[in-house]
Amino acid sequence: MIKLGNTLIFDIKEIAQKFDLSEMTVRRYIRDGRIRSQKLGNHWYITEAAIADFFLQPQKSRKANNIKLD
């Protein structure tokens, strides 16, 4: 985690660990535009605000997200 002023910035690995996701899933969310990020060199960085926006996005249907309920 990097603190820049009042902004917290995370890399893909940190986000994956915090939310119990694979790094590939986080990369897919970035590629699909579900999580805003910025590439610097060879690394992608995600702000705390981008994570908040991800959670505040309107939910898509479970079927569209391939989520199965047991």
Residue span of the structural domain in which 11 resides: 2-56
Cβ(27)–Cβ(15) under 8 Å? Answer: no
**In sequence order, what are the residues at sequence separation of 6 or more whose Cβ sits closer than 8 angstroms to the Cβ of residue 48?**
7, 8, 9, 10
The predicted structure's pLDDT at residue 57: 82
List the CATH number of the domain containing 42: 1.10.10
The predicted structure's pLDDT at residue 61: 44
Task: Report yes or no on 9 lying in a domain.
Answer: yes
Cβ(38)–Cβ(45) under 8 Å? Answer: yes
Task: Report yes or no on 67 lying in a domain.
Answer: no
Task: Report yes or no on 29 lying in a domain.
Answer: yes
Instruction: Point out which residues pair with 3 in neighbouring strands.
Output: 8
Q: How far is CA 61 from CA 3, 16, 50, 67, in A?
A: 35, 23, 21, 9
What pTM was estimated for this model as a whole?
A: 0.76
Task: Report yes or no on 37 lying in a domain.
Answer: yes
Asked whether the predicted pLDDT for residue 70 surpasses 70, the reply is no
The domain total for the chain is 1
Task: Report yes or no on 25 lying in a domain.
Answer: yes
How does pLDDT run across 1-54, given as a tens digit for each residue? Answer: 999 999 999 999 999 999 999 999 999 999 999 999 999 999 999 999 999 999
